[in-house]
Amino acid sequence: MDNDKLIIGGHEFHSRFILGSGKYSMKLIEAAVRDAGAEIITLAVRRANTKRQESILDFIPEGVTLLPNTSGARDAGEAVRIARLARELGCGDFVKIEIMRDSKYLLPDNQETIRATEILAKEGFVVMPYMYPDLNVARDLVNAGAAAVMPLASPIGSNKGLASKEFIQILIDEIDLPIIVDAGIGRPSQACEAMEMGAAAIMANTALATAGDLPLMAAAFRQAIEAGRKAYLAGLGRVLTRGASASDPLTGFLRD
Amino acid sequence: MVKINGTDCDMDGKTVAEYLALAGYNPKLVAVEKNGDIVPKAQYDTAVLGDGDTVEVVSFVGGG
């Protein structure tokens, strides 16, 4: 297990839990990162506010990789613009592409995401596109230079779990990049299940932000993700289509 | 007038550095875009804002 690394764009990580930083107090970030064991945290880029004198960067422990997203982008051009501004903010080359045209379901625009991936990968970004799980789109993202593919489990912020399970499994089976399940994972058991399926990592935000005790839930997710990863590496036992199979010897019974 | 983060501001002739100081921004924590192009931090002292320019000043916030 010590050698089990997550490699994204040539960068090595040991944690398979990518933490969001939205919708909760900046003061909880340090505890969340610590208890999640997270090495990557997502951020958003917004118009600056002179009244906001505290910077979120001051609350993120050193050594944690920053993964700015392009939320708010409605097309590839806007996503590219936000990514460039994020890089100018001095956080490295990672970017999570997020392009949405509707605010009701917040579903990613796969075609625009492919376009943005191609442009940003050429500019040297480590591109992690958030996408609706579709094998053809995932293949296009690979060709466009993505460093990972991030399919949604269910609508963002819904905590509904693996609604798109079958299609994420197809991506895991067919795509030679880390498949990081992003959006909709609400419970540690759902994160564990995705990891058992062979997902490379889990990204979660709302599940923690809306939990009763955020750091405790971060710890629970960490354990679930690690358990699921171990189960995947171990290889799950088979499932019988019908009938039963005794676990005990079928000889030596205490009868004639 | 210069449109900064969506608001018209009387900053014609000011440099980016001057504007950031007047508005109360910490230049280390923001990125600046003028008419769609990023203004590198090294050019804050020389980049001058003019009538009709559109400027965005952004920073990191919490997000997923």
Q: Which sequence spans correspond to the domains of chain A?
A: 6-234
- Give the pLDDT of residue A50: 78
Position A1 pLDDT exceeds 80: no
Mutation pick from A19, A27, A28, A56 vs chain B, by most beta carbons of B within 10 Å, is: A56
Q: Do A46 and B29 touch (CB under 8 A)?
A: no
Chain A CA closest to residue B27: A89
Q: How far is CA A214 from CA A205, A209, A217, A232, in A?
A: 10, 6, 5, 27
Summarised one tens digit per residue, pLDDT across range A192-220 is 999 999 999 999 999 999 999 999 999 99
Residues 6+ positions from A175 with CB-CB distance below 8 Å = A135, A138, A139, A142, A149
Other CB atoms within a 10 A radius of the CB of residue A130 amount to 26
A6-234 CATH fold = TIM Barrel (3.20.20)
Is the per-residue pLDDT at A92 higher than 80?
yes
pLDDT in tens, A37-57: 999 999 999 999 876 678 899
Contact criterion met (CB < 8 Å) for B64 and A86: no
Dig out the tokens for A161 from the structure: 């779990």
Give catalytic residue positions of A: 96
Q: Cα dist. A174→A68, A139, A241, B24 in Å? A: 27, 9, 25, 51
For chain A, give the number of residues: 256
Regarding beta strands B37-39 and B54-62, do their DSSP bridges make them parallel or antiparallel, or are they unpaired? unpaired
pLDDT of res. A52: 66
Q: Tell me what pLDDT residue A256 has.
A: 77
CA-CA distance, A223 to A112, in Å (whole number)?
35
Assigned fold of B2-58: Ubiquitin-like (UB roll) (3.10.20)
Q: Is A84 on the interface with B (CB under 8 A)?
A: yes
Interface of B with A (CB under 8 A): 5-6, 23-26, 29-31, 33, 36, 38, 40-41, 56-64
- Token pair belonging to A171: 């991506």
DSSP state of B48: B
CA distance A18 to A7: 13
